[in-house]
Structure 1
Amino acid sequence: MPQRYSLAAIILHWAIAALLAFQIAVGWALGSLGARGFALFQLHKSIGITVLLLTLLRIGVRWWKPRPAKLEGGWQGALASSVHVGLYAFMLGAPLTGWALVSTAKVKVPTLFFGVIPLPHLPLPMASHGLAEGGHSLLAWIGIALVALHVAGALRHHVLMRDGLIWRMVPGRSTALLLGLPALILVGFLLGRAILPGAAPVAPDAPAANAVEAPAEDNAVEAAGNASDNAAAPAANETAAVAEEPAGPPPAWAVQPGGKIGFSVGNSGETISGNFSKWTAKVVMDPDHPESADIKVTIDMASASVGDAYKDGMLPGDEFFGSAAHPTATFVAKGAEKSGANGYRAHGTLTLKGVAKPQAIRFTLSGSGKSRKVSGSASVARLPFGVGNGDSSTGLDPKVMVTFNFDAKTQ
């Protein structure tokens, strides 16, 4: 029977194999999880560093306890050696490129090794982010191919050649261990798939959650449902019913499907852009008499997304929106003024993270009669609201541009 590897090498071999199977199972899905994948991204990073450390230990063990002699020469032996070298390059390169990817991201997301030990960022230029991202993805596929070749070679020796080569990586000639140790790889893969977040509930279309409501205190008619009901019952809120009012009061407007509130901020020469998928508004205004305007916009801060799971996972935290303690932000304005042919300006109050500050918005109306297109913007100073108050925000510009556009109708 061929000489076995050391017990330390055997343990490290199967442990790394199971962890790599877990990483592959999780990695396939991370890009599509959005904010739901933030915690899983952190786990993925921690296990990646674990693989890196175990691989370094495995190299040390191999240096201390040299591997058994090769049983096969020729091109087959050369191929087997090449696959082994490639696997070591994969086990080292995949974690390192992942670490580089995180270190060169626009927003420096802190990494805690299993939630305890801070992992410093690598001192790499941000320009290398694309290379790190592409390299990490390429190495994953190369690693899968190498693992497949490694498994095929092991099966060839055990089933076709019957030379007992596989027993070198089993501590004792036990059929149970021969079956159980490779099963750890399948367990790792299945566990990785099992802990993925389930399919996200089908969210209502954003515009349906944006039905406009008129303030009750002005005797205008409220839209169908209140703000909290709108996000859960889109069909009832696609248009807001306006009750008949005596002639004179300004009309209430209902947002139509297709509206959007977005935001963007500079970050070390780059721009980070996102949007809020859930928001409601109460708007009453006569375009010919803008002083009649009564506006209230409520934004669900937990609905913020920049399309990146790392950053989306940070947005609800205290460093940015603190949405657990302050789930909504509101803008309230009484009255507006003309600023051009179709332009208006409204001065009001923005309340964000429990802080209320004066805020101005600009908007334009196009169209006529009972149907208008609305678009506008506001430049919001983030620091007075405590938005971006940590180490990962040092590169952010002090002003955040907020934009909005939607169609509105009245009866």
Structure 2
Amino acid sequence: MRRYSQIAIFLHWIIAALLAFQISVGWALEDLGARGFALFQLHKSIGITILVLTVARVAVRYGRPRPAPVEGGWQGMLAKAVHGGLYLFMLGAPLTGWALVSTAKVKVPTLIFGIIPLPHLPLPAGAGDPASAAHALLAWIGIALIVLHVAGALRHHALLRDGLIWRMMPARSPVLLLALPALIAAAFLLGRLILPASAPQAVAAPEKVAAVEEAEPVNIVAATDTDNAAGEADPAPSENATMVAPIGPPPSWTVQPGGSIAFSVGNGNDSIQGKFSSWTARITMDPDRPESADIDVEIDLASATVGDAYQDGMLAGDEFFGVAAHPRARFTAKGAEKTGANGYRAAGALTLKGVSKPQVIRFTLSGSGEKRKVSGSASIGRTLFGVGNGESSAGLDPKVAVDFRFDAQAK
């Protein structure tokens, strides 16, 4: 019996294995949230690979015609319909996935296997929902067609015993007859094995989350914190308080190069680490008279990075920082109070993504004279500012830890 060409056989089995992996992973992606980010990128890469290989398979089919059908009647018509449907599935699923990514609100750059950039399709935003529905529907149709295709192959091999299955084998070998289907099963199993382990997540209403964030004090060294989300106000001076004239104007401090503002957020059993590479700080303060403090810190949100181009693109999108509409975050505070030998506390306000909330920062100073070192940490309630408001953020902790340190020189 005439067989398919070797290139057609190779493409058949490699596409089948990739489809098994895609189906295995795709079932779980929607429920993984941020924990599935890396798998989502891999899913896109393999999807485009399937698209390219399918186009090659179609070209081979027309360049090297396939063997003649061995069965007519309704069975032959059904076989042709299943084969045609599989081609539509292998082309349509990657294309609708590409359209879905291209019209998503969060514009994430696509690099095929982290190397080859894939441009977004020039589609209107309104095409996103139809693309999503079509992608999901094609997945189920594809699964049904694969089941029919496998059932037909088993029918010919086990019931009709006409040797049809050998046409799609590199050689008439019982070992290959077992090994190639086992490759597909292994690809499906691999897709399940690489899924992130599920992590328990506390579910709370937004109002309760906000209440917890308002009630819990947080430590910081020159950044912001939600421990004053309850609206803690600076103590009002007593009517009988003795007014002391200031000794002199407080010094202004220049932040020296080499400082850092870093952040981290829990992500299931893991955490995402990042930093802001561009920020400015204007600080006036006499360490001996902390009530003289005037603090103003601005952060360029577009400079946020977690060391991955995909996730950096997400950070700039509307789901997280919304950089296009709100390019900067700002923390300001007037006055501070001493909390220890080198520790200070300042009540101020954080403005992020168009929302301003009361914030308290805690920071420590070391050194003396005109040179000081500032360091510290904070916990910011991201939900209060609408940061991480989409499905991909479902696994992230509601609080983001902030750590910063820098050297300052008095002017």
TM bucket, shorter chain: 0.5 to 0.7
Q: Distance in 1 between matches of 2:166 and 2:89?
A: 24
Give matches, 1:1-400, under 5 Å: 2-202=1-201, 211-213=215-217, 281=227, 302-303=264-265, 323-325=273-275, 356-357=297-298, 383=300, 386=303, 393=317, 396-398=324-326, 400=353
Q: Note closer, same or farther for the CA distance 1:290–1:105 as it changes in structure 2 (3 Å cut).
A: farther
Say if 2:354 is the partner of 1:401: yes
User: How far does residue 402 in structure 1 lie from its aligned partner after superposition?
Assistant: 3.3
User: How far does residue 172 in structure 1 lie from its aligned partner after superposition?
Assistant: 1.2
Letter in 1 for 2:83: H
Instruction: Report the TM-score, using the length of structure 1 for normalisation.
Output: 0.59
Match of 2:255 in 1: none
Structure 2 residue runs of 5 or longer lacking an equivalent are 239-260, 280-292, 306-311, 328-352, 359-380, 382-411
User: How far does residue 85 in structure 1 lie from its aligned partner after superposition?
Assistant: 0.3
Q: Distance in 2 between matches of 1:283 and 1:130?
A: 37
Q: Does the CA contact (< 8 Å) of 1:213 and 1:283 recur in 2?
A: no
Q: Note closer, same or farther for the CA distance 1:85–1:403 as it changes in structure 2 (3 Å cut).
A: farther
User: How far does residue 200 in structure 1 lie from its aligned partner after superposition?
Assistant: 2.0
Q: Note closer, same or farther for the CA distance 1:288–1:167 as it changes in structure 2 (3 Å cut).
A: closer
Report 1 or 2 for greater relative contact order, CA contacts < 8 Å, sequence distance ≥ 6: 2
Q: Distance in 1 between matches of 2:357 and 2:266?
A: 14
Letter in 1 for 2:15: I
1:56-92 per-position Cα deviation (integer Å, ceiling 9, x unaligned): 1111111111100000000100000000000000000
Q: Note closer, same or farther for the CA distance 1:21–1:348 as it changes in structure 2 (3 Å cut).
A: farther
> SS of the counterpart of 1:171?
coil
User: How far does residue 281 in structure 1 lie from its aligned partner after superposition?
Assistant: 1.4
Q: Note closer, same or farther for the CA distance 1:387–1:27 as it changes in structure 2 (3 Å cut).
A: same
Match of 1:221 in 2: none
User: How far does residue 106 in structure 1 lie from its aligned partner after superposition?
Assistant: 1.1
Q: Note closer, same or farther for the CA distance 1:166–1:280 as it changes in structure 2 (3 Å cut).
A: same
> SS of the counterpart of 1:324?
strand
Tell me which stretches of 4 or more aligned residues in structure 1 moved more than 6 Å: 283-292, 388-392, 403-406
> SS of the counterpart of 2:274?
coil
Q: Distance in 2 between matches of 1:9 and 1:403?
A: 61
> SS of the counterpart of 2:179?
helix
Q: Distance in 1 between matches of 2:114 and 2:232?
A: 54
Letter in 1 for 2:59: G
Q: Distance in 2 between matches of 1:348 and 1:25?
A: 56
Q: Does the CA contact (< 8 Å) of 1:111 and 1:119 recur in 2?
A: yes
Match of 2:341 in 1: none
Letter in 2 for 1:129: G
Q: Does the CA contact (< 8 Å) of 2:101 and 2:120 recur in 1?
A: yes
Q: Distance in 2 between matches of 1:180 and 1:161?
A: 22
Match of 2:284 in 1: none
Aligned length: 281
Q: Distance in 2 between matches of 1:93 and 1:162?
A: 34
Q: Note closer, same or farther for the CA distance 1:25–1:349 as it changes in structure 2 (3 Å cut).
A: farther
User: How far does residue 212 in structure 1 lie from its aligned partner after superposition?
Assistant: 2.1
Instruction: Report the TM-score, using the length of structure 2 for normalisation.
Output: 0.59
Q: Note closer, same or farther for the CA distance 1:199–1:171 as it changes in structure 2 (3 Å cut).
A: same
Q: Note closer, same or farther for the CA distance 1:138–1:211 as it changes in structure 2 (3 Å cut).
A: same
User: How far does residue 384 in structure 1 lie from its aligned partner after superposition?
Assistant: 6.8
Q: Does the CA contact (< 8 Å) of 1:21 and 1:189 recur in 2?
A: yes
Over the residues paired in the alignment, what is the CA RMSD in angstroms?
A: 4.1
Q: Distance in 1 between matches of 2:56 and 2:73?
A: 30
Letter in 1 for 2:42: L
Q: Note closer, same or farther for the CA distance 1:46–1:287 as it changes in structure 2 (3 Å cut).
A: closer
Q: Distance in 2 between matches of 1:58 and 1:190?
A: 25
Q: Distance in 2 between matches of 1:111 and 1:127?
A: 20
> SS of the counterpart of 2:31?
coil
Of 385-394 and 176-185, more deviation after overlay is shown by: 385-394
Letter in 2 for 1:16: I
1:273-318 per-position Cα deviation (integer Å, ceiling 9, x unaligned): xxxxxx75157977796679xxxxxx9954499xxxxxxx9xx6xx
User: How far does residue 185 in structure 1 lie from its aligned partner after superposition?
Assistant: 1.0
User: How far does residue 126 in structure 1 lie from its aligned partner after superposition?
Assistant: 0.8
Structure 1 residue runs of 5 or longer lacking an equivalent are 215-225, 228-278, 293-298, 306-312, 317-322, 330-346, 351-355, 358-381, 407-411
Letter in 2 for 1:27: G
Q: Does the CA contact (< 8 Å) of 1:383 and 1:398 recur in 2?
A: no
